[in-house]
Amino acid sequence: MTESIPRPLLAMVPLDERPVNTRYPKNLAAIAGLDLQFPPDAILGRARTPADTSALSAWLLKTAASAQAAFVCAEMLGYGNLINSRISNDSAAAVLTRLSVLENLAKSVPVHGFSIVTRVANANDCVEEPLYWKEWGTRCYRYSKLAHRALAGEIQAGSDEADEFRKLEAQIPSEVRNDWLVRRLRNHTVNLALLELTARGTISTLRLTSDDTSEYGLSARERDWIATWPDLIGDGLSPRVRMHPGADEVGSALVAWWLNGTRKRAPRVWVDYAIDADAALIAPYEDVPISDTVLGQLVSCGCVPATTPHETDIVLAVVTPSPRLTDYKLDFLNEDRWERSEAYHQQVKRLARLQKAGKKIAIADVAYPNGADPLYSEILASKESELQLGSLAAYGAWNTAGNTLGVVIAQASCVLAKGTNPAAQTAQRVFLAHRFLEDHGYQSIVRRAVREEARVKWGRQDPDPDNPEEVAWICGLIETKLTARLAALQAHGIGTGLSIRKNSVRLPWNRTFEVDFELIETD
């Protein structure tokens, strides 16, 4: 009897405990035959409750003894998680003290760090922000954009924008503005310190991504400040620092990047845009054209653009952003059908021909943020479509363009290394089904229906987290509706032989925006 070959062990401290930052990279690692370990759930915290950073440090040092690489998110290790990087009052000195464990960690294992240029959320919503954001969020967002333009000399004295900027300065209470800006200064200081650790070699590679960003704003200004240093320092630093829009996809991209690097390969990716002209659009929550986002995510995953669709390892179909540059609304469908249907049909036909020729097809639907484009999904499932959906290498449509692209490219990269191992085959089948069921089934269809029923029942779209009966009711409703969606997907070859584990549906942050559930093989 031959002994099984142990899988390469990797350790990851994620951005936070949500499935997009834990389940996704772990599932992708399983597709590629890697063993990706995360800290125990008990020390990861949840939402506004920070992780136990001392326990995280101890776990890292212990796990590093047998790991081949460590992927460490500064938000989790330094602040306790993503939300606490936005709301905590810890000083830069306190955060950097927690990150000092990286010096010892780097003595035993290569450390690959990732951190975020803090966003400025454009909403009066304090779920993930300081409590005052509920009142001042949109005005702080507008102030951020005008401040950037004013500091760049793009606002003329006496103009309407200059007057608006002056009024916002007077409206936003000084204690709010000071608290917000000092916290940004702290986070910027920490990111500069991470850059220094990378320049000194403690951190082998560093990703500094921009979360929910835009062309103008304090986030973009801070990004530009940071970006000057790698080229200025030189000495090989620039190739080890990656900066691009994104956040929740980074853990998945790192798995693919490490896999491709250790196998000494750079998969060639041919990019097929649904509407070529729209590749120049800047997608919502981002600060560069979608073509630049695609290139950034390819590099982040360790891939390179292909020169032709016939000399490529992966065909990446990008459902380009809608010129509306906003979240989807039901009344968009008829107009989209008139303006975009033919381009969508033609792309699906191209993909079907390439799939028949043996190419691996990956679809990144970034037409709208936070869910699949219903028109494109309709065309994929139409009788005229000859694309075998269950045989796709990857599919995604889940949040920002960078989030979607990063995970889709990562999944396709892992599929290239999948082989014939039964566990890897199952992992791919489950993850592909999960993406269709969550990104299309839940985010585009079920979420809207569930929220409508919740508003009728309670007058609000989310359950009271302190009321177990409300949480159980809405999770049960979601499970019923997702089960119906899974049956519809199985008719198209997606998720055959799988079912949703009973009572596995949960709301990670007690809101209907995101959902988690477990797919299992049917007995």
**pLDDT digit string (tens) for 80-138?**
999 999 999 999 999 999 999 999 999 999 999 999 999 999 999 999 999 999 999 99
357-360 contacts at long range (C-beta below 8 A, 24 or more positions apart): 357/310, 359/309, 359/312, 359/314, 359/315, 360/313, 360/314, 360/315, 360/393, 360/412, 360/415, 360/416
Last residue of a domain, one of 396, 418, 440: 418
Are 315 and 458 found together in one domain? no
The pLDDT score that the predictor gives to residue 2 is: 39
What angle separates helix 92-99 from helix 174-200, to the nearest 10 degrees?
30
Residue 54 domain flag: yes
Chain segment 152-209, per-residue pLDDT in tens = 999 999 999 999 999 999 999 999 999 999 999 999 999 999 999 999 999 999 999 9
Higher model confidence: residue 235 or residue 261? 261
The pLDDT score that the predictor gives to residue 7 is: 66
With CA atoms as reference, report the closest residue to 494 among 417, 382, 381, 405. 381
Is residue 328 scored above 80 in pLDDT? yes
Last residue of a domain, one of 198, 231, 261: 261
Chain segment 374-410, per-residue pLDDT in tens = 999 999 999 999 999 999 999 999 999 999 999 999 9
Are 291 and 363 found together in one domain? yes
CATH for 412: 3.40.50
Q: Which residue, chain included where needed, has tokens 């300081």?
A: 130
Dist. CA 171–CA 366, nearest whole Å: 36
Dist. CA 498–CA 377, nearest whole Å: 21
Is residue 212 scored above 90 in pLDDT? no
- Which percentage of the chain shows pLDDT scores above 90? 94
Query: Which structural domain range is residue 15 located in?
Result: 9-137+175-261
The pLDDT score that the predictor gives to residue 234 is: 83
Residue 471 domain flag: yes
Last residue of a domain, one of 385, 418, 451: 418
The pLDDT score that the predictor gives to residue 64 is: 87
pLDDT band at 308 (very low <50, low <70, confident <90, very high): very high
The pLDDT score that the predictor gives to residue 213 is: 86
Dist. CA 41–CA 26, nearest whole Å: 14
DSSP conformational letter for 114:
E
The pLDDT score that the predictor gives to residue 418 is: 84
Are 205 and 330 found together in one domain? no
Residue 155 domain flag: no
Count: domains in the chain? 3
The structure's pTM equals 0.95
Is residue 46 scored above 70 in pLDDT? yes
Are 52 and 183 found together in one domain? yes
